[in-house]
Amino acid sequence: MAEAQYTAVRRRSALLESLGLAVRERRAERALTLKALAAAAGVSERFLVQLEQGEGNISVARLEDVAEALGTTGAELLARAGRASRAGAAKPRSIALVGLRGAGKSSIGAALAKKLGVPFVELDEAIVREAQMTLATIFEIHGEAYYRAMERDVLRRILDDGKPSVIATGGSIVTDAETWGLLRSRARTVWLKATPREHWDRVVAQGDVRPMRGRPKAMNELKQLLTARTPLYEQADVTIDTSDLTPAKVVAGLLSTQSPSRDA
């Protein structure tokens, strides 16, 4: 009797986790923030967070409200959750770091991957290997649309590999809605937040002055770029303010909230 009750509880728990994943993936596909979905569905952001984490005890009526706001039906969300549950929805997920250049994605990503014992992947480097040419050459010869298509294809193959990893993405990945939606639905995303001055100083400290050379208004351009992309970066699952933090402290903060071994 006790064993049967335990099994039933585990099944309900697995279904709730899968339903949360289905809602999360659909929200990413629609490029909706938690705030926007909450407003459209008439529920609180706290409720949505609990739902996406598999902790929400949702009624049929409220599920329909959420589903309608997501442009689907409650039945389809449940069917999607059932498929995910049968396929093993709780399989490991990768962690993807996003942010402007100088956010620390490479150094923090490598350190985080080492701590977690998983591979570290530089998405831009993977694209360069695939194309067998530099990023600058890709843009010069083929243009941005070609690069975006390749970025999406390489990212999808990394995510389809089935093994969790830590991925450092290019700063502009959030500007491509399809690729950003793919990343958010398949990995746990982390925005490494910093001020314009910190981005600037870190790039200079790396010995790279190319972004500033011959551009007297480079700092203003950086501020404008960060302002424009902030609403997109804010769609990440987790935001870590790296101001005045060493890479080791950032990694420690991530380890306290993140793991590629469990989807939340």
Range of lowest pLDDT (26-35, 68-77, 184-193, 254-263): 254-263
Q: Which of 6-15, 189-198, 202-211, 213-222 has the lowest mean pLDDT?
A: 6-15
Q: Computed over its alpha carbons, how large is the radius of gyration of the chain?
A: 20
- Quick one: average pLDDT of 58-73? 90
d(CA 52, CA 83): 16
**Residue 22 CB neighbour total at 10 angstroms:** 25
Check residue 73 and give its pLDDT: 92
Measured at the CA of 166, the angle between CA 165 and CA 171, to 5 degrees, comes to: 135
Distance CA 186, CA 24 (A): 10
* Distance of alpha carbon 203 from alpha carbon 205, whole angstroms: 5
CA distance 121 to 128: 12
Note the pLDDT of residue 48.
85
6-29 tens-digit pLDDT = 344 445 667 777 888 888 888 888
Written as one string, the DSSP assignment of 58-69 is --HHHHHHHHHH
- Domains belonging to the chain, first-starting first, are 2-87 (1.10.260.40), 94-257 (3.40.50.300)
